[in-house]
Structure formats: structure tokens, C-alpha cells
């Protein structure tokens, strides 16, 4: 796989342009946009796009790409013996965590998304993605959907449940917040004092404003 060809860019394209190409193609091939008969093909293409972006991004950081040598996309830095094309899901997840720690959020998101369809790390990669969205200042609704997916995979994930308590309030959904609060109690999760009352008052004016304007959760 030549990552430049996958993203339909030339080797000396700027990283900003590579990022734009990645987002455009990822949106085009997102599996949720396809029906059952085409979903598997879309998933493979989506993974390929995510891998290509991560490979180029990493290579740019490590200065291993040159316009004279487009095939250098298959190289890796000296401190790694694993080819990007032979990495396991655990390798990708580990690198996603590292990218997040370094605040390389686009790379972290693409790598975590790459791991979504691997059952052995599905929960962890989804939780990581949700955390990255929050850390990068993603909007409240995106954060909510991300943590909802974690709970779908594992209804007993305490972190996701507690996060949803506050997120549902932020988008003015106090009934759902109350449901998550009750669920948190059954899981033995520690709920902060005053967190997520089940009444309309608990949502408050600020929650309604946040939901209306799509304010980001800090």
C-alpha cells in the first residue's frame, strides 16, 4: 500500500492538505453510510484510509518521507521493528495512546478508529476515542455518541456511564442523565455531590444554552 495513492495526494503535499484529504475520504467511506451488502467493503476502505493517514503523519514527524522517494512510506523509524503494514491492533492502540499523550489528536483519532472492528480491543479503543474527542475539544454531541458506543459494548463501563451523566445534562436530556445516574449507582460508581439530579431543574439554564448552541464541554 502506498499511503499517498490511497489518500490521492502526491508525496510533497503539505500535511494540512493530507489531513484534508483524509477527512474527505474518511467521510466518503464511513461504514455507517453503507448498507449491509457494501458495509464490509466500506470498512476495509475506511481502515486503509485511516492507516494511510497515520503512516504519512508518523513519517512526517519522523522525517522519513521525501518527494524523491514516495516508496519511503513503507519505512519506519529506527526505534521500531514493526512495519506500519504489519502492526497488530494492540500496536495501533498503543500508538494512538502515545499520539494522544503528545496532543496529536488527528493521528490519535485515526489510529483509534482503525481499531474499532477488532473485538479484542473494541471497548478500549472506543473509550480511547471518546477521551480523545473530549481532550481535543470536540462538541458535546460527538462526545455523547462516543461514550454511548462504549456503554453499548460494555454496559458496566463506569467511566463511560459517569461521563454520560454530565453529557446528557449538557444537551438538556435530564431524563437520560437520571437513568445513567441510577445505572452508575448500581455499578457502585462514585457520583459527585449534586451530579445529575433527575429533575428538570438539574439540567438548568446553562444546560439548555449549551445544548442549543452546541457548546464544547471543557
Is 88 inside a domain boundary? no
Q: Is there a contact between 129 and 113 (Cβ–Cβ < 8 Å)?
A: yes
Average pLDDT over the chain reads: 75
Is 187 inside a domain boundary? yes
Classify residue 64 by burial, with Cβ atoms within 10 Å: 0-12, 13-18, 19+.
Answer: middle
Is 18 inside a domain boundary? no
Give the integer Cα–Cα distance in Å for 85 and 95. 14
Q: What percent of the chain has pLDDT over 70?
A: 74
Digit-coded pLDDT (tens) for 149-201: 999 999 999 999 999 999 999 999 999 999 999 999 998 877 664 454 544 34
Is 61 inside a domain boundary? no
Give the integer Cα–Cα distance in Å for 186 and 182. 7
Is 20 inside a domain boundary? no
Give the integer Cα–Cα distance in Å for 56 and 33. 26
Digit-coded pLDDT (tens) for 79-102: 334 344 456 778 878 888 988 898
DSSP 217: P
Q: Is there a contact between 182 and 195 (Cβ–Cβ < 8 Å)?
A: no
Q: pTM for this one?
A: 0.57
Is 207 inside a domain boundary? yes
In the chain, the number of structural domains is 1
Between 49-53, 127-131, 147-151, 159-163, the lowest mean confidence (pLDDT) is in 49-53
- Give the residue numbers spanning the domain of 207: 137-218
- Chain centroid, CA 62 distance in Å: 23
Between 33-37, 65-69, 135-139, the lowest mean confidence (pLDDT) is in 65-69
Is 52 inside a domain boundary? no
**Pick from 38, 42, 13: which is nearest to 27 by CA?**
42
Average pLDDT for residues 62-66, to the nearest whole number? Answer: 40
Give the integer Cα–Cα distance in Å for 203 and 155. 24
Q: Which residues contact 46 (CB under 8 A, 6 or more apart)?
A: 26, 29, 30, 31, 113
Average pLDDT for residues 137-156, to the nearest whole number? Answer: 91
Query: 161-188 b/e with 16+ CB inside 10 Å = b?
Result: bbbbbbbbbbbbbbebbbbbbebbeeee
Is 206 inside a domain boundary? yes
Amino acid at each position: 500500500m502506498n499511503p499517498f495513492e490511497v489518500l490521492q495526494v502526491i508525496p510533497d503535499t503539505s500535511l494540512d492538505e493530507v489531513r484534508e484529504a483524509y477527512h474527505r475520504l474518511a467521510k466518503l467511506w464511513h461504514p455507517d453510510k453503507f448498507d449491509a451488502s457494501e458495509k464490509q467493503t466500506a470498512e476495509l476502505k475506511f481502515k486503509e484510509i485511516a492507516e494511510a493517514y497515520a503512516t504519512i503523519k508518523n513519517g512526517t514527524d519522523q522525517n522519513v518521507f521525501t518527494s524523491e522517494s514516495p516508496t519511503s512510506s513503507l519505512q519506519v523509524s529506527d526505534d521500531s521493528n514493526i512495519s506500519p503494514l504489519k502492526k497488530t491492533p494492540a500496536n495501533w492502540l498503543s500508538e494512538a495512546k502515545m499520539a494522544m499523550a503528545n496532543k496529536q489528536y488527528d493521528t490519535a483519532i485515526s489510529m483509534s478508529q482503525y481499531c474499532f472492528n477488532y473485538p479484542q480491543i473494541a471497548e478500549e479503543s472506543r473509550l480511547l476515542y471518546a477521551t480523545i474527542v473530549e481532550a481535543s475539544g470536540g462538541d458535546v454531541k460527538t462526545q455523547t455518541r462516543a461514550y454511548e458506543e462504549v456503554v453499548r459494548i460494555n454496559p458496566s463501563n463506569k467511566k463511560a456511564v459517569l461521563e454520560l451523566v454530565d453529557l446528557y445534562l449538557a444537551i438538556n436530556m435530564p431524563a437520560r442523565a437520571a437513568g445513567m445516574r441510577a445505572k452508575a449507582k448500581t455499578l457502585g460508581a462514585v457520583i459527585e455531590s449534586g451530579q445529575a439530579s433527575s429533575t428538570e431543574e438539574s439540567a438548568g439554564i446553562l444546560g439548555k444554552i449549551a445544548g442549543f448552541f452546541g457548546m464544547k464541554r471543557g
